[in-house]
Amino acid sequence: MRDFIYNAHPARVILASGALARLPEEVRRLGLERVMVLTTKEQRQSGDEVASLLGPACAALFPGAVMHTPVAVTEEAMRVVADRSIDGIVSLGGGSTIGLGKAIALRTDLPQIVVPTTYAGSEVTPIIGETQDGIKSTQTTSKVLPEVVIYDVDLTLGLPASLSATSGMNAIAHAVEALYAKDGNPIIDMMAVEGVRALAGSLPRIVVDMGDREARAAAQYGAWLCGTCLGAVGMSLHHKLCHTLGGTFDLPHAETHTIVLPHALQYNAPAVPGAMAALAGALDNADPARALYDLAGTLGAPRALRDLGMPESGIDRATDLALSNPYWNPRPLEREALRACIAAAWAGEPPARGA
């Protein structure tokens, strides 16, 4: 048994079909009387439904959440918080909406109830990324950790197959990197393996039948576990690379994660035999990096960064950037091998064994 430190994050998690109906009770349980419901303009209708479910306990609906949590949007929402004497936040949506709720909590310490509708996992992390003047900065603080999470499978039935696939692969990436985290521990390892197994088993069923409730519930369970991994231990090459690529070439978040994951795992493979064995079990495949590449193919998800609009000249730029900002990784960053890893992800080739 290896030595470890395990920090558990407090959270009340409710996972059930129809769980949204419990929202008014959860709002009362926290003693809230004037909550603001957050969502995106695309999910406005669901936001309206939640607002009417809450009745007088809903003092405002703000359907203005957008990707990357721009500070300007947060400031707009903060004016509503002040004008309407808001005493709590209900975030309904994916990582973008949850990010806005966290940004408000960071400034006000207001309690958050989160109803996630994707698999990105932000609802169970103390992490917040905010964008100002085109620069995204991330911080970790328990101030932004939501108090209550309500997983209702019914709200995910409309999540398009493509978004289900990439958001699920994004969640798997959290678990993969948790398995070789510097500050990893056996509790998180169990969650990671179970999370990968749940998502890898359910996502192919979801893209065939978006309304498969059993698969949807398994994916949500997996997303919770994988998000918990992200919130509990440090991430390395894969997440840092995706952050650099996304910021430098303005690439979409979940798609970038989906494409890079098999290659980042292959890069680290020689240094992490324990994680590779755990993933081989979870994916039921002796070659986990290849299995993740094949899974993305089965899901019809993008597999080449060039298809997202990254120029070929970006391979060298991304390599330079990845090397210029050193961070801990289980395998030291070696220019040639790292460039080969990024080049394979750019071209959409299978991860190169022995790279």
**Residues in region 148-177 near ligand NAD by CB under 6 A:** 155-156, 158-159, 163, 167
Q: Which residue is nearest to ligand NAD (CB)?
A: 95
- Would you say 32 or 127 has its CB closer to ligand NAD? 127
- Would you say 68 or 317 has its CB closer to ligand NAD? 68
DSSP string for 286-321: S-HHHHHHHHHHHTT----GGGGT--TTHHHHHHHH
> Exactly one of 74, 91, 112, 125 binds ligand NAD (CB under 6 A); which one?
125
> Exactly one of 63, 70, 93, 262 binds ligand NAD (CB under 6 A); which one?
93
- Would you say 158 or 332 has its CB closer to ligand NAD? 158
> Exactly one of 35, 38, 40, 47 binds ligand NAD (CB under 6 A); which one?
40
State phi, psi for 134 to the nearest 5 degrees. Answer: 80, 0
Indicate the DSSP class of residue 271: G
Dihedral angle sign, alpha carbons of residues 175, 305, 242, 320: positive
Spell out a b/e string for 190-223, using b for 16 or more CB atoms within 10 Å of the CB, else e.
ebbbbbbbbbbbbbeebbeebebeebbbbbbbbb
Binding footprint of ligand NAD, residue count (CB under 6 A):
29
Q: Is 319 in the site for ligand NAD (CB under 6 A)?
A: no
135: Cα separation from own chain's centroid = 19
Do residues 126 and 140 lie in contact, with contact meaning Cβ atoms separated by under 8 Å?
yes
- Token look-up 């300007």 returns 72
- Would you say 57 or 96 has its CB closer to ligand NAD? 96
> Exactly one of 97, 202, 258, 329 binds ligand NAD (CB under 6 A); which one?
97
Rounded distance between C-alpha atoms, residue 167 and residue 4, angstroms = 30
* Interacting residues toward ligand NAD by CB under 6 A: 40, 42-43, 67-68, 93-97, 99, 117-118, 120-122, 125, 127-129, 155-156, 158-159, 163, 167, 230, 253-254
